């Protein structure tokens, strides 16, 4: 509870800051003369005066008894701490030093009147044990922490040998006894020792009125589900100017409405499964069960730039010679896509198990006419004008019938030792639910195999992997279980024995995990993968095609639910996980970037759950959620958003966990959402406030807040 004295001191301080010094002094004088003797302020002031008067009057034994109760009897020292000019937490060290200095003054005061044996006994019994405690404190003491209370030079001289020798020396000068200071009177030395011990004003720690008001506004805004801070610094400055002198009200806090539908795009002929804005925020891509990837121009009303669709001929021309080909009758539905950081390439994972690399380097120059856009939207191939600008350049598979669900480009290329030609194109990581995890370049050349080059780990973190490795199988797209009785009845004996002969391969099995999704930290040093119920963290080597290059699993976290997808925040400090059937998890992974990790495969602090979100459902199919609304000032998003089985889109505040809105976005399943986090501002229009959603209704919807 805030005391009346505190409130009055706040008013006095505010009046003084506003220039009404005479009024504040008059109020302070009136307060001092009329304060209730039993009030908290009076108690503090009396305690300070009592201690100081006892010190000046050489009542050292009284002060000794007072300090001893805190150290030996563990009495409540709240009031005493309040008047000290100390803001740390190492009270034990501070009390020991105060008591030692009091006894030192007492010794110097009595030394002239007692014999040598009495001196020795007092030093040995009363003073040196205290110094032992001061210098043998369990915690390493930073003397700078006590600069506001004592001169650091005095604390540095409190050693047992130095003190014992100086205090027993009958020929010692005052300068030696007074820590090198020239004093002739003990009372002057006492004032010097304790001159900084107490606060000059017991209410010095009161913040100014402006700070209190600002903090109050921020708290109200944080608690309001409808308030989102200005996204850009320019917007914040503009809003501050508009609100100067305005009265704070609840209406002022309602400024967020995400359901402004800008465009409904219906160029796909199948369910739309994937959506992703480009790194620059200028482009958007969508992937569909119809096998098409459509590129849109964000800055030009989301007009179509190009439709990328694989054909038998383009696949044959692009397939690398060292890769197996799937049958041509398999569906080419788009499961996942990744943008190259420089927007020169796109990598896509398809239902036919093929990984396709598209060259899109001309996207910054290409602008289709309205007639070309119309043509692209109705044709089934991409043989329109200037087709060389956008080209399928590489196709490959991981192995026959090995599925690919996810891929991501590395932020920067890793070093290559043998062949300089391998560094010409960006590098990306591909993960498979069939337990493959590798790095490739855009020519389809394998550069590193995580599972083949993982260091042995004696940690027991992975002891829960066995039930994951032997978990129920799931089909290609949904998370539905495959019944055992639909498997091939003629399964050969080798396959049957491989299912049961796991006793001698436990360690090996632990290193091979199903990959449902993956993410790469912004510094490119850590790979994050998820399987059905586990979160894994691997080191990414700096040189990747060297025989000595290895990876290490630095952490494993076991979770409930079924993990289906993951996403990193813009800063890289937060990881968003979809956990079916009805949960989103945000992990704080900032410890991965600690300097003392040094990429050595050891982290001092494991990632921890930051927030959990509920309300949506994800029973059978993968839904890709995301962070949204990037705050320029904090470099962190303010929102978490997701689709749902029923077509609704949910919004939560990232840092409070509040569900702030739910809007109907699609008929049937909403498969994914994405926010244009790097959107730019053009002619007053903020493209960083645009987000998009896709669904089973074949629609792509563009929204704004």
Domain boundaries, the chain: 1-34, 41-193, 209-243
> If 0-12 CB within 10 Å is exposed, 13-18 middle and 19+ buried, where does residue 103 land?
buried
Tokens of 556: 């494993």
CA distance 133 to 111: 24
Indicate whether this model's pTM tops 0.85. no
Bridge partners for 537 per DSSP: 528, 555
**For the chain, what percent of residues have pLDDT higher than 90?**
45
Q: What is the mean pLDDT of the chain?
A: 83
Tokens of 687: 């493209």
Name the band, by pLDDT with cuts 50, 70 and 90, for residue 60. very high
Output phi, psi for 636, to 5 deg: -140, 145
Query: Smallest Cα–Cα separation from 365: which of 388, 394, 341?
Result: 388
From residue 370, how far is each of 137, 262, 394, 656 by CA, in Å? 78, 19, 30, 45
CA distance 584 to 643: 11
Name the band, by pLDDT with cuts 50, 70 and 90, for residue 217. confident
Reported as a single tens digit per residue, the pLDDT across 528-572 is 999 989 999 999 999 887 888 999 999 999 998 899 999 999 999
CA distance 67 to 44: 16
Reported as a single tens digit per residue, the pLDDT across 453-479 is 998 765 444 444 444 344 445 555 554
**For the chain, what percent of residues have pLDDT higher than 70?**
80
Q: Looking at per-residue confidence, does 601 or 644 come out higher? A: 644
Q: DSSP state, 379?
A: -
Residue 581: cis peptide before it, omega within 30 degrees of 0? yes
Q: Which residues contact 64 (CB under 8 A, 6 or more apart)?
A: 99, 102, 103, 106
Reported as a single tens digit per residue, the pLDDT across 305-336 is 999 999 999 999 999 999 999 988 889 999 99
Tokens of 7: 């409130």
Bridge partners for 438 per DSSP: 430, 449
Query: Smallest Cα–Cα separation from 346: which of 335, 338, 334, 355?
Result: 338
Query: Smallest Cα–Cα separation from 359: which of 375, 342, 372, 373?
Result: 342
Q: Which residues contact 603 (CB under 8 A, 6 or more apart)?
A: 537, 554, 555, 591, 592, 594, 597
Q: DSSP state, 416?
A: -
Q: At what angle do helices 186-193 and 91-110 cross, to 10 degrees?
A: 180
Least confident segment among 13-27, 98-112, 504-518, 601-615: 504-518
How many other C-beta atoms can be found within 10 angstroms of the C-beta atom of residue 96?
22
Q: Looking at per-residue confidence, does 389 or 631 come out higher? A: 631
Give SS3 for 52. Answer: helix
CA-based angle 537:542:546, to the nearest 5? Answer: 110
CA distance 191 to 182: 13
Least confident segment among 236-245, 373-382, 627-636: 373-382
Reported as a single tens digit per residue, the pLDDT across 384-408 is 334 457 999 999 999 999 999 999 9
CA distance 493 to 506: 21
Least confident segment among 385-389, 413-417, 612-616: 385-389
Residues in the chain, overall count: 705
Q: What is the pLDDT of residue 510?
A: 62
Q: What is the pLDDT of residue 301?
A: 96
Q: Are 586 and 607 in contact (CB under 8 A)?
A: no
CA-based angle 222:228:233, to the nearest 5? Answer: 110
Least confident segment among 7-21, 485-499, 504-518: 485-499
Task: Report, in angstroms and rounded to the nearest whole number, the Rg of the chain calculated over CA atoms.
Answer: 35
Residue 495, pLDDT above cutoff 50: no
Q: What is the pLDDT of residue 17?
A: 81
């Amino acid at each position: 509870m805030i005391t009346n004295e505190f409130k009055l001191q706040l008013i006095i301080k505010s009046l003084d800051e506003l220039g009404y010094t005479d009024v504040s002094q008059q109020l302070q004088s009136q307060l001092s003369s009329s304060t209730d003797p039993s009030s908290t302020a009076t108690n503090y002031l009396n305690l300070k005066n009592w201690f100081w008067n006892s010190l000046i009057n050489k009542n050292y034994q009284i002060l000794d008894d007072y300090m001893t109760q805190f150290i030996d009897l563990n009495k409540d020292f709240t009031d005493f701490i309040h008047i000290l000019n100390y803001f740390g937490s190492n009270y034990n060290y501070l009390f020991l030093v105060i008591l030692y200095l009091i006894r030192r003054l007492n010794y110097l005061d009595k030394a002239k009147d007692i014999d040598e044996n009495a001196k020795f006994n007092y030093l040995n019994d009363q003073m040196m044990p205290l110094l032992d405690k001061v210098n043998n404190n369990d915690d390493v003491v930073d003397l700078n922490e006590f600069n506001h209370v004592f001169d650091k030079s005095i604390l540095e001289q409190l050693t047992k040998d130095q003190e014992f020798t100086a205090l027993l020396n009958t020929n010692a000068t005052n300068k030696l006894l007074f820590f090198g200071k020239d004093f002739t009177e003990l009372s002057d030395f006492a004032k010097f020792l304790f001159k900084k011990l107490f606060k000059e004003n017991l209410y010095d720690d009161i913040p100014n009125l402006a700070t209190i008001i600002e903090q109050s506004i921020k708290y109200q805004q944080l608690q309001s589900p409808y308030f989102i801070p200005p996204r850009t610094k320019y917007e914040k400055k503009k809003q501050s100017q508009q609100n100067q002198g305005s009265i704070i009200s609840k209406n002022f806090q309602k400024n967020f409405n995400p359901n402004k539908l800008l465009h409904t795009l219906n160029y796909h002929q199948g369910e739309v499964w994937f959506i992703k804005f480009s790194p620059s925020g200028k482009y958007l891509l969508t992937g569909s069960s119809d096998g098409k990837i459509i590129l849109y121009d964000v800055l030009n009303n989301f007009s179509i730039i190009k439709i990328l669709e694989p054909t038998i001929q383009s696949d044959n021309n692009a397939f690398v010679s060292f890769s197996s080909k799937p049958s041509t009758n398999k569906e080419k539905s788009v499961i996942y896509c990744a943008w190259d950081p420089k927007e020169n390439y796109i990598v896509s994972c398809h239902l036919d198990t093929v990984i396709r690399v598209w060259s899109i380097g001309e996207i910054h120059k290409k602008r289709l006419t309205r007639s070309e856009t119309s043509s692209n939207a109705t044709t089934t191939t991409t043989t329109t004008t200037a087709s060389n600008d956008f080209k399928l350049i590489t196709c490959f598979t991981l192995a026959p019938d090995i599925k690919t669900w996810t891929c991501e480009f590395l932020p920067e290329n890793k070093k290559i030792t043998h062949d300089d030609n391998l560094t010409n194109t960006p590098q990306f990581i591909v993960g498979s639910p069939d337990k493959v995890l590798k790095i490739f370049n855009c020519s389809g050349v394998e550069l590193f195999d995580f599972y083949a080059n993982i260091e042995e780990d004696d940690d027991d973190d992975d002891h829960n992997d066995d039930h994951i490795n032997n978990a129920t199988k799931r089909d290609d797209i949904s998370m539905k279980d495959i019944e055992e009785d639909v498997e091939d009845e003629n399964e050969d004996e080798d396959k049957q024995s491989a299912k049961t002969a796991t006793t001698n391969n436990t360690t090996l099995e632990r290193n091979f995990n199903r990959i449902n999704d993956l993410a790469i930290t912004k510094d490119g040093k850590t790979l994050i993968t998820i399987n059905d119920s586990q979160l894994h963290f691997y080191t990414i080597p700096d040189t990747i095609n060297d025989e000595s290059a290895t990876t290490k699993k630095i952490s494993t976290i076991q979770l409930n639910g079924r993990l289906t997808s993951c996403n990193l925040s813009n800063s890289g400090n937060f990881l968003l996980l979809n956990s079916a059937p009805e949960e989103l998890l945000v992990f704080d992974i900032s410890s991965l970037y600690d300097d003392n990790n040094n990429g050595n495969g050891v982290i001092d602090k494991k990632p921890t759950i930051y927030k959990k979100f509920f309300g949506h459902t994800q029973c059978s199919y993968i839904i890709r959620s995301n962070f949204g609304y990037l705050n320029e000032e904090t470099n962190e998003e303010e929102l978490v958003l997701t689709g749902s089985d029923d077509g609704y889109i949910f919004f939560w505040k990232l840092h409070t966990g509040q569900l702030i809105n739910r809007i109907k976005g699609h008929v049937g399943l909403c498969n994914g959402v994405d926010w244009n986090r790097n959107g730019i501002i053009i002619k007053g229009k903020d493209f960083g406030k645009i987000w998009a959603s896709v669904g089973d209704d074949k629609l792509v919807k563009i929204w704004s807040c």
